[in-house]
Structure 1
């Protein structure tokens, strides 16, 4: 193995923060603290977030690290019963060291995965103030607590793309290289990426210019897909990759990558095993159906393909140049690495959620990829993430467990 290839550490591009209760209280004027997201307690002593007249208890499935699978539960969990790494960046680093996680990109919780909380607020102006407060906190306090150990992920005001572009530029100047976006804005009451009026153009033009990655977490449409109204939750959860595959196909046929050639997206917590099939299927559909679609013929109530040149669209090349898949533990995905591409795969640990492999993160990934060339292993473990997010991690402080 080359002396430059350290395979004892990974970079996780999908972890989560349970925001510390004082996040907004510490940063906003005293007069605004009661209307900003803050924590209150009920008669039983259970804590919950309050914002815009609504109460939000913490789900137990969002903070399971340190618990056995037999203890998992979606019931509300107070902060006093959470592992400190859930909400404390210094304690998190200790847990990262234990699991071989060199660096981590963290999605928010109370704001939801792409800041939907603020886009639904009655007072959008104050919502934007709270959103900017979060962005400053994630860059300065969370990431600043351990330089080189965290990749800052910012939020944008989904309700105002021009304002979003300005916020992206402001945060890029502070070192941010990625922003959270929805896998499907339609359920949020927002235009899709296919909007003929170009609703999202300011955002993606800014992303293209600033080279900021759009990170789209599964569930960022605020929906859990249902196979049927009475389908069991476990069946629906296992079926969840449908959301991510839908996002990938939507983007491939959107024309966005043709218009914004430096734009890149990461499909967080979507796994990768399904990618070969849907890439193949997309090619088949393009080959057989593009001629009548180009003529403007509509099929039932489906939209046409107005923004993409179907004659020059290359599904595989578009995927290779713009789309990145992320996996926690995906045997079939790794078996299909020749189809997906070793440059388009990153790993994640989902700390502290119930899908997490913590504290065995590095062991799980290395067992999946140990048969691959060491250069390929390095790309999957950390190299691809470092390149995509233009991130230089800190030197590993200790040897990871093996």
Structure 2
């Protein structure tokens, strides 16, 4: 394999002062922030209408499992410089043998849970500005995506246009919109994204409801994660969105894989057996609309990849490292990709790790891979203090 590795799903880790420093004055007291909570170790991301979220796993790539409790108590004090410094991020890519990453938020998508739509839009706009500035360090290796609120389709379309002007390469929407994506009032967003050649992404976690701190609610939410993607896809198909915008490209991130063959079978049966009874008369089969218009990311799931290939195109799958999150393959991504290559062969692996994501997001990278990573055997040394880590 001689093409450089590209992660189709990695993450930014928003600086604690992102919103307190960027939001208009009228929102300062309400701004999302990172704080210490009485009686709890570590630091927490907090915002109105949202359950506090511990920050430790956001930047714990490469930390051994037995070290995670200690890392949780440190919070962002243990974060590596790459969390907020894009130049340090490029160095971390080199350590991992990765040439580029498509970047999604860590905390900003939680803001979808805020009830005040105007406040949400202001927070997401501030995040998009930060992403654009971060990725400007090397736009071909740091590929930014914008978070767009869906409450007002006209304003959403305007933010898509603004994001493209900032140099961002994709648009992230909630999995559970205020109005169904089948609603034709949302067409300005699809039309704008297609016209600007921007993929639309639905990422796990980008939902209005928040995960409850109750253990049973949290486990239920975790188990049912694929249903978020299933509902969105069903609305797009039976709402005729791909009928009106056949060039729409949708990316699903972190939703796993094995549910997809069963979902396609159910979707196909619903179309054939019941569609016309409900006034749905598609020009193309429902299954084909999904398999032609949807791309899916995966991370560790080599076994799942081999099991779904008979029913899913290899050109619609993309590998991801998930850096800098605790579940990331960093700094061993080259070894993980070698396992993938052994399972599916070099040509398919090149599609998964370079060709497809490069075409989808319009990247221009050297045609040959770097000579190889200099991966350490453990995590990089933490910075001495939070202040030292901030750009």
Common fold: TM-score over 0.5? yes
Q: Which residue does the alignment assign to 2:383?
A: none
Contiguous gaps of at least 5 residues in structure 1: 295-307
Cα distance between partner residues in 2 of 1:337 and 1:355: 24
| Match among 10, 16, 23 for residue 15 of structure 1 | 10
Question: Is the aligned partner of 1:399 residue 2:372?
Answer: yes
Shift of 1:137: 1.8
> Pick from 291, 315, 338: which aligns with 1:343?
315
Give the structure with the larger helix fraction: 2
State the Cα deviation string for residues 261-315 of structure 1 (Å, max 9, x = none): 2211100011223222221232233222234333xxxxxxxxxxxxx523x2313
Contact 2:173 2:201 in 1 (8 A): yes
Checking the alignment, whether the CA contact within 8 Å between 1:20 and 1:88 is kept in structure 2 is: no
Match of residue 179, structure 1, among 157, 171, 175: 171
1:285 & 1:55 partners in 2: Cα distance?
A: 37
Alpha-carbon separation, structure 2, partners of 1:163 and 1:334: 41
Structure 1 residues 333 and 24: CA distance shift in structure 2, 3 A: same
**Deviation for aligned residue 1:76:** 6.7
Give the SS at the match of 1:375.
helix
Q: Is the 8 A contact 1:58 1:77 kept in 2?
A: no
Give the CA deviation at 1:82: 2.5
Secondary structure (helix, strand or coil) at the match of 2:311 reads: helix
Higher relative contact order (CA 8 A, sep 6+): 2
In structure 2, the CA distance between the partners of 1:64 and 1:172, relative to structure 1 (3 Å rule), is same
Residue 152 of structure 1: SS of its match in structure 2?
A: strand
Alignment root-mean-square deviation, CA: 3.3
Can you give the 5+ residue segments of structure 2 that lack an aligned partner in the other structure? Answer: 376-391
Q: Which residue of 2 aligns with 1:102?
A: 99
The Cα of 1:341 is off from its aligned counterpart by 0.3
CA contact (8 A) 2:13 2:84 kept: yes
Matched, 1:359 2:351: no
CA spacing shift, 1:371–1:77, aligned 2, 3 Å: same
Partners of 1:337 and 1:178 in 2: CA distance = 26
1:147 counterpart = 2:139: yes
Instruction: For residue 112 of structure 1, give the secondary structure of its aligned residue in structure 2.
Output: helix
**Mapped contact 1:273–1:336 kept (Cα < 8 A):** yes
TM-score (norm 2): 0.81
TM-score (norm 1): 0.79
User: How many residues were matched structurally?
Assistant: 370
Distance 1:166 1:60 in 2: 35
**3-state SS of the aligned residue for 1:266?**
strand
Which sits farther off after the overlay, 50-59 or 344-353?
Answer: 50-59
The aligned runs of 1:179-218 (5 Å cut-off) are 179-185=171-177, 190-195=178-183, 198-218=184-204
